[in-house]
Amino acid sequence: MSRERLERGELLQLLRQLARQEYAIPGSRRRHISERTLQTWYYAWRRDGVKGLASQPRVDAGRSKLPETVQAAVLAAKRE
Protein backbone atom coordinates (compact mmCIF):
# COMPACT_ATOMS: atom_id res chain seq x y z
CA MET A 1 0.00 0.00 0.00
CA SER A 2 2.62 2.50 -1.02
CA ARG A 3 0.45 4.46 -3.47
CA GLU A 4 -0.96 7.81 -2.43
CA ARG A 5 -4.60 6.93 -3.21
CA LEU A 6 -6.50 3.67 -3.51
CA GLU A 7 -9.28 3.01 -5.98
CA ARG A 8 -12.87 2.85 -4.70
CA GLY A 9 -13.38 -0.40 -2.75
CA GLU A 10 -9.70 -1.30 -2.93
CA LEU A 11 -9.01 -0.49 0.74
CA LEU A 12 -11.85 -2.71 1.94
CA GLN A 13 -10.62 -5.55 -0.27
CA LEU A 14 -7.08 -5.18 1.07
CA LEU A 15 -8.26 -5.03 4.69
CA ARG A 16 -10.32 -8.20 4.26
CA GLN A 17 -7.37 -9.97 2.67
CA LEU A 18 -5.04 -8.90 5.50
CA ALA A 19 -7.59 -9.89 8.18
CA ARG A 20 -7.75 -13.44 6.79
CA GLN A 21 -4.01 -13.95 7.22
CA GLU A 22 -2.39 -15.44 10.32
CA TYR A 23 0.23 -13.49 12.21
CA ALA A 24 2.74 -14.31 14.96
CA ILE A 25 1.85 -11.55 17.42
CA PRO A 26 4.52 -11.21 20.15
CA GLY A 27 3.13 -11.68 23.66
CA SER A 28 -0.25 -12.88 22.39
CA ARG A 29 -1.95 -16.16 21.57
CA ARG A 30 -4.07 -14.39 18.99
CA ARG A 31 -3.27 -15.16 15.37
CA HIS A 32 -5.56 -12.73 13.50
CA ILE A 33 -6.08 -8.98 13.36
CA SER A 34 -9.60 -7.71 12.72
CA GLU A 35 -10.57 -5.61 9.70
CA ARG A 36 -11.64 -2.83 12.06
CA THR A 37 -8.25 -2.77 13.82
CA LEU A 38 -6.44 -2.74 10.49
CA GLN A 39 -8.69 0.08 9.30
CA THR A 40 -8.00 2.08 12.47
CA TRP A 41 -4.27 1.60 12.01
CA TYR A 42 -4.47 2.59 8.33
CA TYR A 43 -6.27 5.87 9.03
CA ALA A 44 -3.98 6.66 11.98
CA TRP A 45 -1.02 6.16 9.65
CA ARG A 46 -2.62 8.32 6.94
CA ARG A 47 -3.35 11.08 9.45
CA ASP A 48 -0.11 11.10 11.52
CA GLY A 49 2.38 8.84 9.75
CA VAL A 50 4.36 6.34 11.80
CA LYS A 51 3.77 8.43 14.96
CA GLY A 52 0.05 7.66 14.62
CA LEU A 53 0.80 3.97 15.14
CA ALA A 54 2.51 4.46 18.52
CA SER A 55 0.68 3.18 21.59
CA GLN A 56 -1.51 5.80 23.21
CA PRO A 57 -2.38 5.90 26.91
CA ARG A 58 -6.00 5.07 27.66
CA VAL A 59 -8.17 8.07 28.42
CA ASP A 60 -10.05 6.09 31.08
CA ALA A 61 -6.93 4.73 32.82
CA GLY A 62 -7.27 4.71 36.59
CA ARG A 63 -10.93 5.70 36.61
CA SER A 64 -13.69 3.54 38.03
CA LYS A 65 -17.00 3.28 36.21
CA LEU A 66 -18.83 2.71 39.48
CA PRO A 67 -20.32 5.78 41.13
CA GLU A 68 -18.71 6.65 44.47
CA THR A 69 -21.91 5.77 46.36
CA VAL A 70 -21.86 2.24 44.91
CA GLN A 71 -18.15 1.88 45.65
CA ALA A 72 -18.76 2.91 49.26
CA ALA A 73 -21.63 0.43 49.59
CA VAL A 74 -19.52 -2.42 48.20
CA LEU A 75 -16.64 -1.61 50.55
CA ALA A 76 -19.01 -1.40 53.53
CA ALA A 77 -20.56 -4.77 52.64
CA LYS A 78 -17.10 -6.30 52.29
CA ARG A 79 -16.10 -5.08 55.76
CA GLU A 80 -19.15 -6.75 57.35
Burial track 19-54 (b if 16+ CB lie within 10 A, e otherwise): eeeeeeeeeeeeeebebeebeeebebeeeeeeeeee
CA distance 60 to 54: 18
In a domain, 71, yes or no: no
In a domain, 1, yes or no: yes
**How high is the pLDDT of residue 1?**
54
This prediction has a pTM of 0.64
In a domain, 20, yes or no: yes
**How high is the pLDDT of residue 57?**
87
In a domain, 23, yes or no: yes
Amino acid in position 17: Q
**How high is the pLDDT of residue 2?**
56
In a domain, 78, yes or no: no
Torsion sign (Cα): 28, 56, 37, 61: positive
In a domain, 46, yes or no: yes
Mean pLDDT, 10 residues at a time, the chain of 80 residues = 75 95 94 96 94 89 85 91
In a domain, 13, yes or no: yes
**How high is the pLDDT of residue 70?**
92
- Domain extent, residue 35, equals 1-53
The number of distinct structural domains making up the chain is 1
